[in-house]
Amino acid sequence: MSTTYDPRNMEWDYYCRLMEEQFAPNQLGHVAEENWREWVDAMNGIGYFVMSGIPDHRYFQTWQEWAMQLVGIMSVDPQ
């Protein structure tokens, strides 16, 4: 069964923890909302996410805009 998280109407802490749980083997960790860009940069350094083609944060003003681009890309079976 595939899982995807729709970030609309979510708080950062909730979204970040869901992603941390779903991708636990990749050790994403949890960061404060003001550090979301660094968190995305860290994801972009992990092979699984690089191969998935997650978007670069520099094209987005908010983490919600960035996360909406993951809907469909990261709609995968949890590892």
Instruction: Tell me the per-residue pLDDT of 14-59, one tens digit each, with 9 for 90 and over.
Output: 999 988 888 888 888 899 999 999 999 988 888 777 787 888 899 9
Which residue type, as a one-letter code, is found at position 3?
T
Distances (CA, A) of 14 to 31, 32, 75: 11, 11, 18
Name 58's Cβ contacts closer than 8 Å, sequence gap at least 6. Answer: none
CA distance 59 to 36: 13
Hey, where are the domains in the chain?
12-70
0.95 surpassed by pTM: no
